């Protein structure tokens, strides 16, 4: 647990690396951040067939970290989350999340005595990491935007409509329906056993929801409110031209949460990012990191990171 972006906030960080790794540099230290609903652990460090994405990067010689923003996973749950959701307005938007990410990144950089690190986000995490990069360009080595969010032309799968309270509750059944969004009829990209592993670990991360029947996870609604007021109205929350580091945009073709048009629109706006790359992977959805074709994602990201390695 490390200090967050505001007093009283503690953030959960996990680190994986080879025992033999003895050199920490800006080009081999990575910090992951999650999306709008689920914690980092079951996105980046879920062991399926005995190996996770963090394991793969660690085995390749990277010093790999993940962080949970406040309100998610094992990090501090704001006091509004101990009250009925309707009693408070939405909490934890991208500005707040970027402050938490900055605090985690500063802690990692201090621990490893490095001036910069590799920044990597998934879904809403791409907004968090991009905001961080625009605010702290001197602290970022490379940027990876996996399933990047940009101006929305299609309905958001995280927004059920209606009035918004401080947070929302998501059940296992709702998670499964969202996971299957975008799939072609008759196609299965994640076995029932893998989904069971993911759901067991994900829904045990909420200290309140794991005791309920049916189980649920709570997720702050700041990101949903922000989507309604900005992305859905053609107003981004950061300027891509302010990103001045090598950047990879990567996603899968059947992503219904952040469809390919988002990345395709964002890519040419990264006018000061050199080099930059956009990759659309076949036969995958928003959660390809936990699907049968996950190594297509792992390999693409690793190639991009290795291109920036000095040795």
| Cβ neighbours around 196 below 10 Å, total | 11
At 184 the pLDDT is: 83
Which residues, other chains included, contact 243 with Cβ-Cβ below 8 Å and sequence gap of 6+?
130, 133, 134, 137, 143, 270, 272, 273
Residue 303's pLDDT is what?
98
| Stretch 257-264: mean pLDDT | 98
Whether residue 226 has pLDDT greater than 90: yes
In the predicted structure, residue 235 carries a pLDDT above the cut 90: yes
30 beta partners: 64, 118
* High-pLDDT (> 90) share of the chain, %: 94
Query: Can you give the pLDDT at residue 180?
Result: 85
Structural domains in the chain plus CATH codes: 2-307 (3.40.50.1820)
How would residue 31 be classed by pLDDT, with cut points 50, 70 and 90?
Answer: very high
Cis upstream peptide for 205 (omega within 30°): no
Confidence of residue 179 (pLDDT cuts 50, 70, 90): confident
How confident is the model over 8-15, as a mean pLDDT?
A: 98
C-alpha torsion angle, residues 133, 157, 232, 32 (rounded to 10): 0
> Tens digit of pLDDT for each residue in 104-131?
999 999 999 999 999 999 999 999 999 9
Torsions phi, psi for 22 (to 5 deg)? -120, 0
Predicted local distance difference test score (pLDDT) of residue 152: 95
Please provide the DSSP assignment of 142-164 as one string.
EEEEES---S-SS--TT---S--
Q: What is the mean pLDDT of residues 224-237?
A: 96
Residue 102 pLDDT: 98
Q: What pLDDT is recorded for position 307?
A: 94
**Range 22-49 average pLDDT:** 97
Residue 159 and residue 250: Cα distance in Å, rounded?
23
Q: Where are the alpha helices (DSSP H) in 19-84?
A: 41-44, 53-59
Mean of the pLDDT values across residues 243-269?
98
Q: pLDDT-based confidence at 311, cuts 50/70/90?
A: low
The model scores a pTM over 0.95: yes
Please name which of 223, 208, 104 lies closest in space to residue 167, comparing C-alpha atoms.
Answer: 223
Confidence of residue 87 (pLDDT cuts 50, 70, 90): very high
3-state helix vs strand vs coil in the chain, percent to 5: 35, 20, 45
Backbone angles phi and psi of 192, in degrees to 5: -60, -35
Across the chain, mean pLDDT equals 96
What's the chain's Rg over C-alpha atoms? 18
Please say if the pLDDT value at position 310 is more than 80: no
Is 32 in contact with 105 (CB distance < 8 Å)? no
Q: Which is it for strands 140-146 and 117-122: parallel, antiparallel or unpaired?
A: parallel
Cis peptide before 214 (omega within 30 of 0): yes
Residue 22 or 33, more confident: 33
Q: Which two tokens stand for residue 62?
A: 């990277």
The predicted-structure confidence for 150-173, as pLDDT tens digits, reads as follows 999 999 999 999 999 999 999 999
Contact 92, 78 (CB under 8 A): yes
* pLDDT for the residue numbered 181: 86
The fraction of the chain above a pLDDT of 70, given in percent, is 100
Helix intervals (H) in the chain: 41-44, 53-59, 94-112, 124-135, 172-179, 192-203, 222-229, 260-266, 294-307
């Amino acid at each position: 647990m490390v200090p967050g972006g505001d007093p009283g906030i503690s953030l959960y960080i996990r680190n994986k690396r080879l025992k033999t790794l003895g050199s920490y540099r800006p080009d081999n230290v990575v910090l992951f951040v999650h999306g709008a609903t689920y914690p980092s652990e079951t996105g980046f460090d879920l062991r399926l067939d005995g190996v996770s994405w963090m394991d793969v990067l660690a085995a390749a010689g990277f010093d790999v970290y993940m962080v949970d923003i406040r309100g998610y996973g094992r990090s501090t749950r704001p006091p509004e989350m101990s009250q009925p959701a309707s009693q408070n307005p939405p909490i934890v938007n991208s500005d707040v999340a970027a402050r938490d990410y900055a605090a985690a990144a500063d802690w990692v950089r201090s621990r490893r005595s490095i001036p910069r690190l590799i920044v990597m986000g998934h879904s809403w995490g791409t907004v968090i990491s991009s905001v961080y990069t625009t605010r702290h360009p001197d602290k970022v080595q490379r940027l990876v935007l996996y399933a990047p969010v940009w101006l929305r032309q299609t309905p958001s799968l995280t927004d059920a409509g209606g009035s918004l309270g401080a947070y929302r509750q998501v059940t296992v059944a709702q998670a499964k329906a969202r996971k299957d969004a975008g799939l072609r009829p008759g196609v299965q990209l994640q076995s029932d056993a893998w989904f069971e592993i993911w759901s067991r670990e994900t829904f045990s991360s909420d200290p309140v929801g794991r005791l309920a029947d049916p189980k649920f996870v709570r997720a702050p609604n700041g990101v949903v409110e922000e989507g309604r007021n900005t992305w859905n109205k053609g107003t981004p929350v950061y300027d891509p031209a302010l990103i001045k580091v090598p950047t990879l945009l990567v996603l899968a073709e059947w992503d219904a949460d952040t469809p390919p048009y988002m990345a395709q629109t964002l890519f040419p706006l990264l006018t000061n990012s050199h080099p930059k790359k956009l990759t659309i992977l076949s036969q995958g959805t928003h959660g390809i990191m936990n699907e049968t074709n996950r190594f297509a994602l792992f390999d693409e990201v690793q190639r991009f990171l290795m291109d920036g390695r000095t040795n």
